[in-house]
């Protein structure tokens, strides 16, 4: 039986792990790329129990040879380019590294596909950060981009390359303009995970305060498990295109805090403090996506996980992490 082959760059990240799980369940042969480092970083793949079902290859988006080697080795039908320096806050501290990895890195993958096998389908992880602050009522595929960080600039460079390569070289190259999506395996730097981890630590007496930056910023937060399905759906269309993936709802960081603390019976105002160190030189203040096109063309349902279920899922996972450290230790030992 014909088995489709997928190559996922950045499989060690949040979305990489969820996408691997989704594609394995669809019957794909999945290969993922990881960066060589002194410490192995496969904990998310263990958390979702997919490590045993995938193959891994070392690839750095800074190194085109490694990308070409992976494409030759795997001969994929579909490439999902999820690898990136994805933290907006750090992109102000490391603008050039962010541009190299997140911007030019994507171009390296695209060019490798163009030269090695233009029949490979390509997915680019575009982002709502590309909209910046210009439109404060809601964003669709037709909203102009006004990026407000080195990360957003790098992503916009990658985005326009995909759009241009689609036209110039007739590649099946699609972009998902994904709004924030979270999960229990979200990186600790991002505000949702920082809050839910902080809630668990405070509830269990391990911490007294939670220091945050801009509490009034609003985001359209969804669940990562729902969003990787949309990536796959885009890749199954007859024509490649660009799609906004979002819930259509927006909430402030303050509202997220309120919901997360109340999950464990605490009042956030007693624990959350603003520390200037977490304010950004330029922040995006309002994001609310319009997923109508994805709904209409892909049949993707944005309402599978509500805001409150997402918050509760993340708080519960962090409580479990600290209350049941043996389980964590077993997972840790697995990836040594």
Question: Contact positions toward ligand NAP, by CB under 6 A?
Answer: 10, 12-16, 35, 41, 59-62, 82-86, 101, 125, 127, 178, 180-181, 187
Number of residues in contact with ligand F7E under rule CB under 6 A: 23
Stretch that binds ligand F7E, among 3-11, 29-37, 126-134, 227-235 (CB under 6 A): 126-134
56 near ligand F7E, judged by CB under 6 A: no
- By beta-carbon proximity to ligand F7E, the closer residue of 206 and 279 is 279
- Among residues 15, 60, 129, 318, which is the contact residue for ligand F7E, using CB under 6 A? 129
- Tell me the three-class secondary structure of the chain, residue by residue: CCCCEEEEECCCCHHHHHHHHHHHHCCCEEEEEECCCCCCCCHHHHHCCCHHHCEEEECCCCCHHHHHHHHHHHCCCEEEECCCCCCHHHHHHCHHHHHHHHHHHHHHHHHHHHHHCCCCEEEEEEEHHHHCCCCCCCECCCCCCCCCCHHHHHHHHHHHHHHHHHHHHCCCEEEEEECCEECCCCCCCCHHHHHHHHHHHHHCCCCCCEEECCCCCEECCEEHHHHHHHHHHHHCCCCCCEEEECCCCCEEHHHHHHHHHHHCCCCHHHCEEECHHHCCCCCCCECCECCHHHHHHHCCCCCCCCHHHHHHHHHHHHHHHHHCHHHHHHHHHHCC
- By beta-carbon proximity to ligand F7E, the closer residue of 89 and 118 is 89
> Which residue out of 123, 131, 151, 268 is catalytically annotated?
151
Say if residues 132 and 145 touch (Cβ distance below 8 Å): yes
Stretch that binds ligand F7E, among 34-42, 187-195, 235-243, 265-273 (CB under 6 A): 187-195
Cβ 206 to ligand F7E, closest distance in Å? 18
What are the angstrom distances between the C-alpha of 70 and each of 19, 172, 185?
A: 18, 19, 26
175 near ligand F7E, judged by CB under 6 A: no
213 binds, among ligand NAP, ligand F7E, none (CB under 5 to 8 A by kind): ligand F7E
129 in catalytic set: yes
- Among residues 191, 228, 233, 311, which is the contact residue for ligand F7E, using CB under 6 A? 191
Quote the CA–CA distance of 72 and 62 in Å, as a whole number.
Answer: 18
217 binds, among ligand NAP, ligand F7E, none (CB under 5 to 8 A by kind): ligand F7E
Say if residues 179 and 222 touch (Cβ distance below 8 Å): yes
271 in catalytic set: no
294 near ligand F7E, judged by CB under 6 A: no
280 near ligand F7E, judged by CB under 6 A: yes
- Among residues 5, 21, 219, 251, which is the contact residue for ligand F7E, using CB under 6 A? 219
85 binds, among ligand F7E, ligand NAP, none (CB under 5 to 8 A by kind): ligand NAP
- Among residues 253, 257, 294, 313, which is the contact residue for ligand F7E, using CB under 6 A? 253
189 near ligand F7E, judged by CB under 6 A: yes
127 in catalytic set: yes
99 near ligand F7E, judged by CB under 6 A: no
Say if residues 309 and 231 touch (Cβ distance below 8 Å): no
CA-closest candidate to residue 257, choices 247, 269, 275, 265: 269
Q: CB nearest ligand NAP: which residue?
A: 13
- By beta-carbon proximity to ligand F7E, the closer residue of 168 and 279 is 279
Q: Among all chains, which residue has been given the structure tokens 């036209």?
A: 167
Q: CB nearest ligand F7E: which residue?
A: 217
Residues that bind ligand F7E (CB under 6 A): 86, 88-89, 127-129, 179-180, 189-192, 194, 212-214, 217, 219, 253, 278, 280, 283-284
Q: Give the residue numbers annotated as catalytic, written as ranges.
A: 127, 129, 151
């Amino acid at each position: 039986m014909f088995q489709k082959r997928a190559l996922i760059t950045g499989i060690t990240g949040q979305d990489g792990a969820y996408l691997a799980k989704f594609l394995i369940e669809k019957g794909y042969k999945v290969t993922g790329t990881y960066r060589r480092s002194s410490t192995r970083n496969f904990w998310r793949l263990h958390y979702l129990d997919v490590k045993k079902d995938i193959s891994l290859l070392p690839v750095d988006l800074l190194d085109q040879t490694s990308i070409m080697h992976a494409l030759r080795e795997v001969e994929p039908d579909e490439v999902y380019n999820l690898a990136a320096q994805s933290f907006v806050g750090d992109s102000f501290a490391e603008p050039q590294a962010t541009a190299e990895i997140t911007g030019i890195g994507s171009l390296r993958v695209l060019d490798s596909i163009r030269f090695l096998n233009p029949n490979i389908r390509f997915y680019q992880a575009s982002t709502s950060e590309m909209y910046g602050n210009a439109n404060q009522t809601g964003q669709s595929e037709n909203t102009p981009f006004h990026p407000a960080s080195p990360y957003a600039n790098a992503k916009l460079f990658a985005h326009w390359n995909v759009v241009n390569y689609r036209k110039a070289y007739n590649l099946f190259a699609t972009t998902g303009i994904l709004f924030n999506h979270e999960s229990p395996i979200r990186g600790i730097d991002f505000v949702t995970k920082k809050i839910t981890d902080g809630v668990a630590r405070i509830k269990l007496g391990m911490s007294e305060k939670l220091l945050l930056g801009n509490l009034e910023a609003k985001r359209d937060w969804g669940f990562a498990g729902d969003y990787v399905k949309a990536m796959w759906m885009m890749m199954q269309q007859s024509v490649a295109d660009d799609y906004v993936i979002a819930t259509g709802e927006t909430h402030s960081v303050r509202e997220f805090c309120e919901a997360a603390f109340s999950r464990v019976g605490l009042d956030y105002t007693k624990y959350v403090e603003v520390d200037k160190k977490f304010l950004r030189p330029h922040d995006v203040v309002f994001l609310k996506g319009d997923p109508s096109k994805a709904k209409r063309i892909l049949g993707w349902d944005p309402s599978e996980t509500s805001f409150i279920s997402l918050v509760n899922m993340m708080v519960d996972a962090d409580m479990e992490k600290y209350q049941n450290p043996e389980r964590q230790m077993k997972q840790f030992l697995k990836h040594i």
